[in-house]
Amino acid sequence: MPEVRSNHGTVLHKFKADSYSGVDFSGLDLTDANLKGQDLSGSQFVKTKLSDANLESASLQDADLTEADLSGANLGGAFCSNTNFYRANLIAANLQGASLVGAQVQLARYNQKTVWPVGFDPKAGGAVLLQAQGAKKGGCGTGVVGVLVALVVLLWLL
């Protein structure tokens, strides 16, 4: 009976299935799970918490990770052919060396710390780059600071 363990050895979940392939992990909290090198092909991870999980060299072919939280997860070298990452959280995830042939990344969120495979363009796939907190794209900003700056400029001009 397969068990999902954390990177520290704690049992996170037990399954009655003989393997992980095709298993429905949907909605589970598998934060910090160690699934390195596992065959997870065809599995469902809809809205599953996999933050800081180790999925290095795992096979996620045809897996559904719709709205999964993969923040800080290691998917280095993972086989993600035809994997669905729709609306997944990929902030600070490592996908270096992962095979993303046919992978769907529409509306997946990522940031500057997310590592993509060489040659993969997340924007072309419809993923959304989140700006660093506090970063602005020009202008004087919004909120209290923006109002104060505008007020000082106005008073200076008078």
Contact predicate 73/65, CB 8 Å: no
**pLDDT at residue 16 above 70?**
no
pLDDT tens for residues 102-151?
Answer: 999 999 999 999 999 999 999 999 999 998 765 555 544 455 666 666 65
Phi then psi dihedrals of residue 83, to 5 deg: -80, 140
User: Residue 47 contacts by C-beta under 8 Å, 6 or more apart in sequence?
Assistant: 26, 27, 66, 67, 68
Average pLDDT over residues 66-70: 98
User: Residue 1 contacts by C-beta under 8 Å, 6 or more apart in sequence?
Assistant: 14, 15, 16, 17
| pLDDT recorded at residue 140 | 47
pLDDT tens for residues 88-107?
Answer: 999 999 999 999 999 999 99
pLDDT tens for residues 21-61?
Answer: 999 999 999 999 999 999 999 999 999 999 999 999 999 99
Delineate the domains of the chain, giving CATH numbers in brackets.
1-132 (2.160.20.80)
Q: The whole model's pTM is what? A: 0.79
